[in-house]
């Protein structure tokens, strides 16, 4: 029987609004307002790209929702209290907002027209805010899925503006800046549902009985501490993960792993191949070892509960798009 997690709200949902990763992720009562320096949503993306190019800037498409707490956090913190981020963004980028529920017509970079909602579904903006960065030719060079705190967000802006994407991944760029990627295994937070090593996750030959959740984390990680100290302490979430085969990996370690596809590798190499640059990241696989979904940005109780419901109910078998599933549930 599919497990549907309770909709009861956690006592800890209030969070600390002064902390960029510890805040309530319940839908907001107030509607989001865009900064006055965002592009007017005329929604002809070819014109927006040309205007950005003429100004010596790059174009960012912002996909959001008016009541999305993560979108509010981006506007209130990154674009609200971080003056250097605002100045840097305005100097190097133009941002065009897209409402993922909107019915206004969008003309994409290839001249095709559709609604904002249809465009968002096509672009698989599963977690809002999603930001897609384009170069001067209109080629996508970076995608941020979800909300990232000021440090990672500013680094992503610099990564694109200075064209580091031509030479290295965002993961490698961030690692060079951190210069602190060696920790003791004891630095990681534990959870009662984590399975011990060895990590033979191979499902390519014989399907497993349960889906798999792989937590990629690191030491000295405040967002990891918040995840373990808040959402994973809630009974509904803990019970949800108890229905998975769940493991935890240090994303910078040489811990041996056999991946769900049967490849022998290390935690660090696998995280690099998966393109992970933010901790914690949770990647979900089905019983055959196929990736279902990943959460690789700030996540709280409400979003994590919805993700677990999507997977434990096996809704992905009928609707592979998490966003489309959420749209169907909303109407």
pLDDT band, very low/low/confident/very high, at 331 (cuts 50, 70, 90): low
Question: Is residue 180's pLDDT more than 60?
Answer: no
| CATH classification (class only), 185-330 | alpha beta
**What digits encode the pLDDT tens for the residues 200-248?**
999 999 999 999 999 999 998 999 999 999 999 999 999 999 999 999 9
Span 12-23, mean pLDDT?
Answer: 67
Question: Is residue 3's pLDDT more than 80?
Answer: no
- What is the value of pTM for the model shown? 0.90
Give the Cα separation of 207 and 189 in Å (integer): 29
pLDDT band, very low/low/confident/very high, at 4 (cuts 50, 70, 90): very low
- What's the 3-state SS for the chain? CCCCCCCCCCHHHHECCCCCCCECCCCCCCCCCCCCCCCCCCCEHHHHHHHHHHCCCEEEEEEECCCCHHHHHHHHHHCCCCHHHHHHHHHHEEEEEEECCCCCEEECCCCCEEEHHHHHHHCCCCCCCEEEEECCCCCEEEEEECCCCHHHHHHHHHHHHCCHHHCCCHHHHHHHHHCCCCCCHHHCCCCCCECCCCEECCCCCCCCCCCEEEEEECCCCHHHHHHHHCHHHCHHHHHHHCCCEEEEEECCCCCEEECCCCCEEEHHHHHHHCCCCCCCEEEEECCCCCEEEEECCCCCHHHHHHHHHHHHCCHHHCCCCHHHHHHHHHC
Span 267-294, mean pLDDT?
Answer: 97
CATH of domain 31-167: 3.40.30.10
Span 95-121, mean pLDDT?
Answer: 95
Average the pLDDT over each of 63-72, 84-93, 189-198, 319-328 and give the range with the smallest value: 319-328
Cα dihedral 145, 9, 195, 183 sign:
positive
Quote the pLDDT of residue 16. 54
How do the domains of the chain map onto residue ranges?
31-167, 185-330
pLDDT band, very low/low/confident/very high, at 176 (cuts 50, 70, 90): confident
Span 267-296, mean pLDDT?
Answer: 97
Domain 185-330 in the same topology as domain 31-167:
yes
Question: Is residue 188's pLDDT more than 70?
Answer: yes
Quote the pLDDT of residue 329. 75
pLDDT band, very low/low/confident/very high, at 178 (cuts 50, 70, 90): low
pLDDT band, very low/low/confident/very high, at 5 (cuts 50, 70, 90): very low
Quote the pLDDT of residue 299. 96
Q: Are strands 140-145 and 130-134 parallel, antiparallel or unpaired?
A: antiparallel
């Amino acid at each position: 029987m599919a497990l549907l997690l309770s909709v009861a709200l956690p006592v800890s949902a209030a969070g600390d609004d002064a902390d960029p990763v510890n805040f309530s992720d319940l839908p907001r009562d107030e509607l989001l307002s865009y900064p006055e320096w965002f592009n007017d949503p005329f929604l002809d993306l070819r014109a927006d790209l040309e205007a950005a190019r003429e100004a010596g800037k790059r174009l960012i498409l912002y996909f959001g929702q008016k009541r999305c707490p993560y979108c509010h956090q981006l506007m209130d913190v990154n674009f609200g209290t971080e003056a250097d981020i605002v100045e840097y963004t305005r100097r190097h980028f133009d941002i065009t907002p897209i409402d993922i529920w909107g019915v206004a017509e969008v003309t994409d970079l290839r001249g095709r027209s559709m609604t904002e909602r249809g465009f968002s579904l096509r672009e698989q903006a599963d977690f809002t805010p999603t930001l897609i960065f384009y170069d001067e030719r209109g080629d996508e060079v970076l995608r941020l899925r979800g909300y990232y705190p000021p440090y990672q967000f500013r680094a992503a802006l610099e990564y694109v503006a200075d064209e580091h994407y031509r030479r290295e991944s965002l993961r490698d760029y961030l690692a060079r800046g951190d210069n602190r990627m060696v920790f003791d295994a004891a630095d990681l937070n534990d959870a009662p549902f984590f399975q011990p090593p060895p990590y033979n996750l191979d499902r390519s030959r014989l399907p497993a009985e349960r889906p798999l959740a792989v937590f990629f984390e690191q030491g000295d990680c405040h967002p990891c501490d918040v995840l373990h100290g808040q959402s994973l302490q809630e009974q509904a979430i803990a019970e949800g993960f108890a229905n998975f085969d769940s493991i935890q990996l240090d994303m910078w370690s040489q811990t041996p792993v056999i991946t769900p596809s049967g490849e022998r590798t290390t935690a660090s190499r696998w995280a690099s191949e998966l393109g992970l640059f933010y901790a914690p990241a949770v990647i979900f696989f089905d019983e055959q070892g196929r990736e279902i979904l990943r959460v690789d940005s700030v996540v709280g109780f409400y979003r994590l509960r919805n993700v677990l419901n999507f997977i434990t109910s096996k809704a992905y078998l009928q609707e592979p798009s998490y966003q489309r599933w959420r749209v169907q549930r909303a109407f």
